[in-house]
Amino acid sequence: MRKPILFALLLITTITFAQKSVLIMNATAHIGNDSVIQNSIIGLKGGKIVLVADATTAKMDKAGYDEVIDATGKHVYPGIIAPNSTLGLTEIESVRATNDFRETGTTLPNVRSLIAYNTDSKIIPTVRSNGVLLAQITPRGGLVSGTSSVVVLDGWNWEDAAYKTDDGIHINWPTIQSRKFMDEDNIFPGPFEKNKDYIKQTELLKKLFADAKAYNETTQKEEANLRFEAMKGLFNGTQTLFIHSNTVKEMVEAINFTILNKISKVAIVGGKESWMITDLLKQNNISVVIARVHDLPTYPEDDIDLPYKLPYILHKAGILFCLNNEGDMEAMGARNLPFMAGTAAAYGLTKEQALKSITLNTAKILGIDKTTGSVEQGKDATIFISTGDALDMRSNNVERAFVKGNSIDLNDDQKALYEKYKTKYGIK
């Protein structure tokens, strides 16, 4: 009983300013679609971007805005999107009571992450203060983990935050080789061995999809089935199927599975070995939510920079891809997503292509690119201003951020503790 009280005491409410119209002047605008306007004017009104233009040629109407920001020497970016994230579903990884990202069971398409998304998570403010303003909240575990939703990282509750409800269903494609928990001497972890249940597990998936498809095609349902209902969007093209897989053989099987089931929107999540099957991915129009860039190669023989350059390899092959951060400390580590893009830029992509891989590309894969993902007229005013290059931790410094036109509070608990002790010690 004491813990909830403690949390309640520490709770800092999200302060949302009454929405004002804003004109940002003279910033370097990184549009998110590869283009840059060196000296820009950007107008935000009614939650939308109403003006994006070159300051040297466009006419200005300062009077039409409540606030004018001089951003000379600064940079404007579209809000960064964290796909495949457990943000808001976990607070302290090792404390079971704070984890809400994994349900028990094997095939759970009807389990929805959105309703467990905690807008008051202490982690969220620390993530958005680096420019991450949207996230796809995603369940984990099982063969079919459940249904994700896209949220903006601002809101009083999950209803406020919801941006695209139930955008996709996530499956973990079984692995052909699985790791035993312990070896014969009871030492953890055990060796890899052939997954004896592989056929059984894939058959289970195949049956589920066949049954769900048939169920959703008939109007005469004998009994309602919540699981099948939840998958409706996969067959009518309104939902995306996210297949989590890293190894090549499994990906090939998974792709064939989606073709057989006529699922139109498919993304591979992970795809560490996707560089081996770029043709197949391209032919079938499958996008890749690339595994954490800041990772070690799988095999000792791999190029030491393979995870760093994977985005560039997929880019060259013409595949739609974006970056994600699944793995250890994934929720809190989402604030490092811009730097992963920075690394991708150091290893082949241009900086603007790298930016795209955490903004517009992500929006496309999540099906939200019509309204967000780039600094373009008519889209949501979900953008931020950094004093320097936001993809480099050396210069990333987010001064202002707007979510659907709302200027959001960039404070967090960590900053508060910092200030508290700076005061105690009398240091700057």
Partner 1 sequence: MKKLILVLFAISASIVAKAQETFPVNGTANKNHTIYAFINAKIVVDADEVIENGTMVIKDGVISLVGTKINIPQGSVIVDLKGKTIYPGLIDAYSSYGMPETKKSQGGGYPQTESNTKGAYGWNQAIKPETDALKIFTKDSKSAEELRKLGFGAVLTFQKDGIVRGSGTIVTLGELRENELIVTDKAAALYSFDKGTSSQDYPSSLMGCMALLRQTYLDASWYKSDKTKKEINISLEAFNALQALPQIFETNDKLNVLRADKIGDEFKTNYIIKGSGNEYQRLDEIKASNCKFILPINFPLAYDVEDAYDANYVSLAELKHWEIAPANLSAFEKYFISFAITTSDLKDKKDFWKNLRKAISYGLSEKQALRSLTSTPAEMLNIGDKLGKLKSGMIANFIITSGNLFDEKTIIYENWIQGNNFKITDYNTIDVRGNYDFSYGTSINHQLKIEGDLEKLKATMITDTVKTPVNIIVSGYSISISFSTKDTTGSIRLSGNINSQPMKFNGKGQTSDGTWIDWNASYKDAFVSTAKKDTIKKTTAKYGQVIYPFTAFGKGDDRTEFEKIVADIKTRYDAVLIKHVTVWTNEAEGILKNQDVYITEGRIVRIADDISAPKLAFAKVIDGTGKHLTAGIIDEHSHIALSSVNEGTQASSAEVRMGDVINSEDINIYRQLSGGVTTSQLLHGSANPIGGQSAIIKLRWGKSPEEMKFEKADGFIKFALGENVKQSNWGDINTVRFPQSRMGVEQVYYDAFTRAKEYDAKQKAFGGLSEKAKANIAPIRRDLELEAVAEILNKKRFITCHSYVQSEINMLMHVGDSMGFKVNTFTHILEGYKVADKMKAHGAGASSFSDWWAYKMEVKDAIPYNAAVLTKMGVTTAINSDDAEMGRRLNQEAAKSIKYGGLTEEEALKLVTLNPAKLLHIDNRVGSIKVGKDADVVLWSDNPLSIYAKVEKTIIDGQVYFDNEEDAKLRVDIQKERARIIQKMLDEKKGGAPTQRPVMKRRQLFECDTMQEDYLEIAE
Which residues sit at the interface with partner 1, rule CB under 8 A? 91-95, 122-123, 177, 183, 185, 187-189, 191-194, 248-249, 276, 294-301, 303-305, 328-329, 331-332, 335-336, 339, 342-343, 345-346, 391-397, 414-415, 417-418, 421-422, 425, 427-428
Residue type, 405: G
Nearest approach, Cβ of residue 8 and partner 1 (Å)? 15
Q: Which is nearer to partner 1, 215 or 312 (CB)?
A: 312
Residue found under tokens 């813990």? 3
Q: Which is nearer to partner 1, 104 or 425 (CB)?
A: 425
Q: Which is nearer to partner 1, 93 or 103 (CB)?
A: 93
What CA–CA distance (Å, rounded) separates 108 from 105? 7
What CA–CA distance (Å, rounded) separates 223 from 379? 42
Nearest approach, Cβ of residue 18 and partner 1 (Å)? 30
Nearest approach, Cβ of residue 406 and partner 1 (Å)? 24
Find out whether 242 and 217 touch, Cβ atoms under 8 Å.
no
Q: Which is nearer to partner 1, 145 or 247 (CB)?
A: 247
Q: Which is nearer to partner 1, 93 or 352 (CB)?
A: 93
Q: Which is nearer to partner 1, 238 or 298 (CB)?
A: 298
Orientation of helix 337-346 relative to helix 306-316, angle to 10°: 70
Find out whether 349 and 342 touch, Cβ atoms under 8 Å.
no
CA distances from 87 to 92, 94, 318, 358 (A): 11, 15, 30, 16
Nearest approach, Cβ of residue 363 and partner 1 (Å)? 23
Q: Which is nearer to partner 1, 209 or 275 (CB)?
A: 275
CA angle at 21 for the pair 15 and 26, rounded to the nearest 5°: 105
Residues recorded for the chain:
428
What CA–CA distance (Å, rounded) separates 337 from 160? 24
Nearest approach, Cβ of residue 293 and partner 1 (Å)? 11
What CA–CA distance (Å, rounded) separates 353 from 423? 42
Nearest approach, Cβ of residue 303 and partner 1 (Å)? 6
What CA–CA distance (Å, rounded) separates 250 from 172? 10
Find out whether 159 and 171 touch, Cβ atoms under 8 Å.
no
Which residues neighbour 157 within 8 Å (Cβ) at sequence distance 6 or greater?
119
Nearest approach, Cβ of residue 304 and partner 1 (Å)? 5
Q: Which is nearer to partner 1, 324 or 396 (CB)?
A: 396
Nearest approach, Cβ of residue 76 and partner 1 (Å)? 18
Residue type, 151: V
